Structure 1
Amino acid sequence: MFNRIKVSHFILLLIIIGAFIWSSIKTTDYFTWVLEVSPVTIGLLILIFTYKRFRFTTLSYIIITVLSIFVFIGGHYIYERVPLFNWIKDVFHSHRNNYDRFGHFAKGFFAIIIREILIRTSCLQPSKWLIFITLSIVLAISSLYEILEWLASKIFGKSTKDFLGTQGDIWDSQWDMSLSLLGGILCLLILSKLHNKYLKKPL
């Protein structure tokens, strides 16, 4: 049982490494790529080095893998130029490429990882308070990311235009935070019961 779990985690790690390598090859802009993938890369390294001390459930690692791939794709093409969403933009006659909006919504699913940390390291158990605190942290992380984008623009100037990816929308930050919160709400509604089952299994 334990070996099967470790093997599945190792396979997920290999998928992430493969996606990272692909993302780094012939990127649209290497400076923007570094800005986009650095936070995820640092987070993944922390997870690897703390794996023996704090091993997440397989469900959490699946979510981390999917979210990492989304970021690597956005970093490779630059969010506003992801081909699939350019096609969607043309088909629906939209004024912008919405991959960044989709990405922020997907990041709301990080709520499961936050939920797991809270359940396993605090006195909180499944309850309304757990939902409230989890969503508050999701929103706080999203807000922190917007602040980091703002700081990057102040430090590096116009070279961070692609990193900011506002596409001319003055309410872009508010959209991003709102979509992350919405993603977190849907994540908890859809996956909380499944997550509880994973938490009962041996880690």
Structure 2
Amino acid sequence: MNKDKVPVIHIFLLAVVAAVLIWSVIKPNSYATWALESVPALAGLILVAATYKRLRLTTLSYVIIALLAISIFIGGHYTYEKMPVFNWIKDDYDLKRNHYDRLGHFLKGLFVIVIREILLRKTALTKGGWLAVISMSMMLAIAALYEIIEWLVSKISHGGKAARDFLGTQGDIWDTQWDMSLTLVGTILALIFISRLHNRLLKKR
């Protein structure tokens, strides 16, 4: 395989993410909330693009990155509390809250595969228990850092509307614990069910 050639699937993923990004910034619920939610993801995508030639990841990692970016841009457009599909589920099943943010934090656990790949390719770590533990620990550290950032934004802005939408607790005092727990569940499931596929794809590089 010619490593200098950009696979069609990578171009397709980029096009889909770009299309969702453009859609998300057109008349969002709030531009301030959109910025708080989406700018970090946009910065991450720019970093991935900037390092593409030096550190080309597996297609699986790029699919995960694209999926997470899309979920974040959708949340930034509507706010996680007002995502229409999950509002419909909330109303239809008489739920107390919109659970789109719960899904988002669960999906963030998939990013552990990207962390795993970077560790395998850029450190002396090899496949095994320690790789799983360290990858999981780093993923949980990222999840905790995100919750701290949400809290700091809320404090700095004195609980303004954009900050409340960004925090997205929807009245649940245990929202932070739920968010990190769901990321942990997503992380564990990703390591259990995706690692073997990831290993096969790494061998093909």
TM-score relative to the length of structure 1: 0.96
Partner of 1:72: 73
> Residue 13 of structure 2 aligns to which amino acid in structure 1?
L
Secondary structure of the equivalent of 1:95?
A: coil
Partner of 1:163: 166
> Residue 198 of structure 2 aligns to which amino acid in structure 1?
H
Aligned length: 202
Contiguous gaps of at least 5 residues in structure 2 = none
Partner of 2:135: 134
Compute the displacement of 1:123 (Å). Answer: 1.3
Secondary structure of the equivalent of 2:52?
A: coil
> Residue 141 of structure 1 aligns to which amino acid in structure 2?
I
> Residue 24 of structure 1 aligns to which amino acid in structure 2?
V
Matches within 5 A, 1:5-154: 5-154=6-155
Secondary structure of the equivalent of 1:84?
A: helix
Compute the displacement of 1:51 (Å). Answer: 0.8
| Distance of 2:191 and 2:165 partners within structure 1 | 32
Compute the displacement of 1:21 (Å). Answer: 0.2
Structure 1 window deviating more from structure 2 (29-38 vs 8-17): it is 8-17
Deviations 1:116-167 (A, max 9, x none): 0111111111111111111111110000000000111111122211110000
| Distance of 1:87 and 1:139 partners within structure 2 | 31
Secondary structure of the equivalent of 1:148?
A: helix
Stretches of 4+ moved more than 2 A in 1?
Answer: 1-7
| Distance of 1:53 and 1:126 partners within structure 2 | 22
Verify the 8 A CA contact 1:108 1:183 in the aligned structure 2: yes
CA RMSD in angstroms, aligned pairs only: 1.1
> Residue 38 of structure 1 aligns to which amino acid in structure 2?
V
Partner of 1:188: 191
Compute the displacement of 1:5 (Å). Answer: 4.9
TM-score relative to the length of structure 2: 0.95
Deviations 1:74-119 (A, max 9, x none): 0000001001101111121110000001100000000100000111
> Residue 174 of structure 1 aligns to which amino acid in structure 2?
Q
| Distance of 2:9 and 2:156 partners within structure 1 | 41
Compute the displacement of 1:4 (Å). Answer: 6.7
Verify the 8 A CA contact 1:28 1:76 in the aligned structure 2: yes
